Amino acid sequence: MKKIHRVLAMLMAAIMALGLITTAFAEPTIDTSKKASLSIYKYDITKAGNDGAWDAESYVSTGLHDDAVIDKLSKYAIQGVEFTYLRVADITMNNELVDGQRHVGVLYGFDNSDRSTAVLSAIGLTGADAHKTEDDVNYFTSDMLNNKLSAALAANATTVKNALEAAVKNGGVAMTETDATGHTSTSNMEQGLYLVVETRVPENVTSTCNPFFVSLPMTTIDGAAWNYDVTVYPKNQTGNPDLEKTVREAKNSTGKNTGSLTDIKDGYEHTATASVGDVVDYQIISTLPTITSKASALSEYTYVDTLSKGIRYNKNDVVIEFFKDAGCTDKITTWAENSGKFTVAYDDAANTMTIRMTDTGLAEINEATTVYTDSVKRGYSDCTMRITYAATLTSDAQMGNKDNPNEVELTWKRTNTTYYDTLKDCCHVYTYGIDVLKQFSDNGGNLRNVKFRLHNDTDDVFVIADLKDGVYYAKGLTAKKSDATTFIPNAQGHIVVKGLEDDAYSLTEIATDKGYVLLKDAVKIVIKTAENGTCEQCGAKLQTASATVNSKNITMTEGNAIVPLTVVNNPGFDLPKTGGYGTWMFTIGGGYAMIPLIEREVVNRGWLDKQDFMDLFAMTQSLPGIFAVNISIFVGYKLKKVTGSIVCAGGTILPSFCIILAIALFFNHFQDNIWVMKIFNGIRPAVVALILVPCISAARSLHLKWVELILPAIGAVLIWKCGVSPAYIVLAGIIGGLIYTFWIKGKMKQGNGE
């Protein structure tokens, strides 16, 4: 933050009287034939005081050139100050008896001219207050003039300064502006009492010093001689208004600035993070300069606010508040856009907003009389102006360390200056993203069947995003899971989501391709920010980001903007389907691999002969259900009728049911383990052999010829390579079998002579 020291409101009362003559004896008397001169040196008392080079007790005004003062304060010289002087009274020696004693002193004679009357009226003197009156001239002592001027400034500084400034401008003479040493002078001046007013100050000088009287000539400090070449050292307070711009992610739900916020520290910082679509609140804080008179009043006060490309103004949203204190707790008033006290103009091409105080607004700032009870300050002098508005982060926002800087420039001008002062400050908004690479462990699978959902764990909401040119841009948040965006990988397997703030997120896979296992747990992503460098313009601490994925540190890409991560799906298991991997755990290949075992148990025990088993095998394959159970029912019926069927079926079903139930309960914990996958992949060739054995055995039992295996082989190829449904192959077999059967019957009838 760039801050320039605040202006103090007024010049110290002791300084006002610099150069004033005191009533004292002086010998010899004034040489009325001599001309006089006036020299003025101007110094930055604010900086000198901060450096310990000056304090109010250190210097006594003598009217003499003081090399010690010049040497000590020369580096604090103020160039470009204009003083205007006006001769308001004659100076004369006064010799009179008081209580039997003779007093010699000085009196200042004010005639009845308009300018003399204006000066006396401004400080509260009339002819009735004069030490004496002769020939329509009112004579006042220096003590009377000094005391009245000090009392008037203390009672109503602004009014008195304005009146004296007006009097001097009407007939006064402007001195040349102070040079690089802070010095200006004029010579060949008539003797008399002069009113000196500071009528123009340079950049960084926020208020004019109070008007003061100078007597030409004036007595030396001991009253023993006259000084015709008077030197004074009036001192200005310097500095500019404060300016600070800060930002925060919006706390209101409407996305509009309400103007109701009063705590300037309520989440506002020079840096913030936000997601695309988020509303961000901005505030501009400016401490108004000291206003002590019309000469130091503001004639222009304008803000030009510039947002970066990735942030858009929420228009008609500006609220201005005024506070007595820097903390913005003691509110004076609030201005809305329709108040007529300021205007707002937008330049969409440049993405700027210009806030300009109108004449009505400036008049209130300069002239309001209800703010202060003391006499020194007027209007909203030294008060705090707070501007608030809202804006929205767009998909054009820069990501990572590049950030989105937002600058404000304050241009202001006083009525007594011909130049403009400018202050600048800025703040920064950061946003980030993730890049998910979706893969299948066997390089198979269809990426378009994969779906993810992104949850903001910090705020307990889901991310909503728009897809543009293959990239998802966050545009909002929702508490409803059903309204959340479904993220699908592109052809290269990437899901890129941009415009996320620094929060904790959960990436959940909600769908994957057939034959692959969903991620059991959500991927935990955390984006954190930390200070990194300093902005050259505003002095704020810039930010950089870091990230973790499932608590492991991840190197972000693209200038710490993107969190990269890879999600891998493994081939899965369908439980508890017959023939699936779940049954293979104990049957190694499913029902077909069990045929040799069933044949051995049934045929070798003599329950069925070889031919009966083959016939039963063919019949059970044509029936619905598991053929092992079907065989057990037929075998049991042959041996013990209905009772045998029930016992055999129960003996076949119950052990498998219990085993598969246990597998279903525990297998999910290790089904996607890579070593389990490799074990089953290694078993597959053996399973093929197990299934092939009964097929060959059956073929031999049926005395099939090799040519008769052509059609089954074609069917297998159609299912395997061409993706033809087995149902169609079975249907074709049925039809073919019927045709062949009817053809055989026809042949047999012909052979029998029918």
Q: What is the mean pLDDT of residues 433-454?
A: 92
Q: Which residue has better confidence, 99 or 301?
A: 301
CA distance 399 to 397: 6
DSSP string, 238-273: B----EEEEEEE--SSSSS--S----TTSS-BSEEE
Give me the pLDDT at residue 579, please. 38
- If pLDDT is split at 50, 70 and 90, which confidence band does 291 have? confident
585-589, 610-614, 727-731: the lowest-pLDDT one: 585-589
Q: Which residues of 217-229 are buried (b: 16+ CB within 10 A; e: fewer)?
A: bbbeeebeebbbb
CA distance 316 to 558: 36
Highest mean pLDDT among 326-335, 427-436, 644-653: 427-436
Q: What percent of the chain has pLDDT over 90?
A: 38
- If pLDDT is split at 50, 70 and 90, which confidence band does 98 have? low
E strands, 35-100, in order = 36-41, 43-44, 82-98
CA distance 387 to 320: 5
Q: Which residue has better confidence, 76 or 378?
A: 76
174-178, 253-257, 704-708: the lowest-pLDDT one: 253-257
Bridge partner list, 245? 284
- If pLDDT is split at 50, 70 and 90, which confidence band does 527 have? very high
Listed residue (25, 30, 6) closest to 291, CA to CA: 6
pLDDT exceeds 80 at position 669:
no
Looking up tokens 């008896």 gives 97
Highest mean pLDDT among 153-157, 320-324, 413-417, 589-593: 320-324
Give me the pLDDT at residue 377, please. 65
Q: Which residue has better confidence, 329 or 203?
A: 329
The amino acid sitting at 419 is Y
Q: Which residue has better confidence, 501 or 665?
A: 501
The amino acid sitting at 145 is L
CA distance 290 to 7: 6
Dihedral sign from CA coordinates of 502, 506, 511, 513? positive
Q: What is the mean pLDDT of residues 228-244?
A: 76
Highest mean pLDDT among 126-140, 620-634, 683-697: 126-140
pLDDT exceeds 80 at position 574:
no
C-alpha distance across the termini of the chain, in Å: 113
Highest mean pLDDT among 69-73, 253-257, 297-301, 642-646: 297-301
Q: Which residue has better confidence, 384 or 706?
A: 384
Bridge partner list, 463? 477
Check if the beta carbon of residue 410 is closer than 8 Å to that of residue 423.
Answer: yes
Tokens at 448, concatenated: 């378009």
pLDDT in tens, 105-152: 889 999 988 888 999 999 999 999 999 999 999 999 988 998 899 888
- The chain-wide mean pLDDT, for the chain, equals 81
Residue 702, helix vs strand vs coil: coil
Give me the pLDDT at residue 673, please. 60
Give me the pLDDT at residue 207, please. 64
Give me the pLDDT at residue 684, please. 67
Check if the beta carbon of residue 582 is closer than 8 Å to that of residue 576.
Answer: yes
Give me the pLDDT at residue 438, please. 93
CA distance 660 to 662: 5
CA distance 615 to 698: 10
Q: Which residue has better confidence, 707 or 8?
A: 707
Listed residue (304, 321, 301) closest to 241, CA to CA: 301
Bridge partner list, 492? none
68-82, 384-398, 594-608: the lowest-pLDDT one: 594-608
Check if the beta carbon of residue 396 is closer than 8 Å to that of residue 310.
Answer: yes
Phi/psi of residue 209, nearest 5 degrees: -75, 160
CA distance 615 to 385: 99
Q: What is the mean pLDDT of residues 90-110?
A: 79
Count helices and strands in the chain by DSSP H and E runs = 13, 36
Looking up tokens 């040489």 gives 31
Q: What is the mean pLDDT of residues 213-229?
A: 86
CA distance 493 to 567: 10
28-32, 191-195, 207-211: the lowest-pLDDT one: 207-211
pLDDT in tens, 481-508: 999 999 999 999 999 999 999 999 999 9
What H or E segment, with its residue span, contains residue 293? Answer: none
What H or E segment, with its residue span, contains residue 420? Answer: none
Q: Which residue has better confidence, 740 or 379?
A: 379
pLDDT exceeds 90 at position 277:
no
Tokens at 371, concatenated: 């703010």
Tokens at 228, concatenated: 């015709």
CA distance 697 to 685: 19
What H or E segment, with its residue span, contains residue 407? Answer: strand 404-414
pLDDT in tens, 244-254: 999 988 765 55
Q: What is the mean pLDDT of residues 584-612?
A: 66
Q: What is the mean pLDDT of residues 554-560?
A: 93
CA distance 22 to 745: 151
CA distance 565 to 525: 9
Check if the beta carbon of residue 217 is closer than 8 Å to that of residue 26.
Answer: no
- How big is the CA angle at 303 (ends 302 and 309), to the nearest 5 degrees? 150
Helices (H), 78-141: 114-123
CA distances from 387 to 4, 302, 303, 319, 335 (A): 19, 12, 10, 6, 10
Is omega for the bond preceding 217 within 30 degrees of 0, making it cis? yes
Q: What is the mean pLDDT of residues 95-107?
A: 71
Give me the pLDDT at residue 222, please. 72
CA distance 59 to 71: 13
CA distance 357 to 371: 19
Q: Which residue has better confidence, 552 or 7?
A: 552
Give me the pLDDT at residue 586, please. 43
Check if the beta carbon of residue 495 is closer than 8 Å to that of residue 392.
Answer: no
Q: Which residue has better confidence, 236 or 401?
A: 401
Give me the pLDDT at residue 609, please. 76
Q: What percent of the chain has pLDDT over 70?
A: 78
Check if the beta carbon of residue 515 is closer than 8 Å to that of residue 571.
Answer: yes
357-364 contacts at long range (C-beta below 8 A, 24 or more positions apart)? 357/298, 357/300, 357/301, 357/302, 361/335, 362/297, 362/298, 362/299, 362/300, 362/301
Give me the pLDDT at residue 1, please. 37
CA distance 402 to 595: 69
Name 94's Cβ contacts closer than 8 Å, sequence gap at least 6.
103, 104, 105, 106, 107, 131, 139
Q: Which residues of 449-459 are buried (b: 16+ CB within 10 A; e: fewer)?
A: ebbbbbbbeee
- As a whole number of angstroms, the longest Cα–Cα distance in the chain is 182
pTM of the model: 0.58
Say how many CA atoms lie within 13 Å of 561 toward its Cβ: 17
pLDDT exceeds 60 at position 24:
no
DSSP string, 141-204: -HHHHHHHHHHHHHHHHHHHHHHHHHHHHTT-EEPPPP-TTSEEEEEEEPSEEEEEEEEE--TT
Q: Which residue has better confidence, 620 or 483?
A: 483
Give me the pLDDT at residue 7, please. 28
Q: Which residue has better confidence, 228 or 694?
A: 228
CA distance 313 to 346: 9
Give me the pLDDT at residue 661, please. 74
Give me the pLDDT at residue 4, please. 31
CA distance 29 to 36: 15
Check if the beta carbon of residue 351 is closer than 8 Å to that of residue 308.
Answer: yes
The amino acid sitting at 118 is A
Give me the pLDDT at residue 706, please. 66
Give me the pLDDT at residue 664, please. 64
pLDDT exceeds 70 at position 608:
yes
Give me the pLDDT at residue 548, please. 95
